[in-house]
Structure 1
């Protein structure tokens, strides 16, 4: 991970807003920097390498594919993470809350249930 990713991961591990994040999460042929499954939100930390025309084209293609899977992508400039990680984390938490609570959202809300053994066999439920 790059320095901005390490800095952000330290904060995301604290589950801001109660949201759990995964790092280096696979999605199709892509690896997402960070992902919140409840909000279906991908976070991509963009450094200078993302400024070239070919990189912008690849990023657009990637975001379009993720969108087709119901996953929103938020691109965060690396310098923002390094300059004010607290503000970045607050905004990420707001985005997650908006995605979970938006009307018509197909994002499932996880339900707690006790660990009561393995799931039923096919035909037993």
Structure 2
């Protein structure tokens, strides 16, 4: 059995049984699975050539007051030009390999056009 023994007190009697805890498994044997994220948000900027900035809102509980607060995060996404998105469109982002320092998403579809 792969376990490590915890030391008891120096003054403990010899009749006590030492506590046993399992050994920590090596990180090489554990498998880490990352889920591909699909996010939905609003296009807020289209100033770059093949990129758009999408603001994604989510609700989170406040640490102290436990009220739900709206958190907005801006993601830079790849736009190949085939969807023809504009500022104000509601789009779905799909996770992909890193395309640049900040681009980790690409546009999957336009959910709703701007009014």
Q: TM-score band (shorter)?
A: under 0.3
Q: Which has the larger radius of gyration?
A: 2
TM-score (norm 2): 0.17
Relative to its length, the structure with more helix (as a share) is 1
Relative to its length, the structure with more strand (as a share) is 2
User: RCO higher in 1 or 2 (8 Å CA, sep ≥ 6)?
Assistant: 1
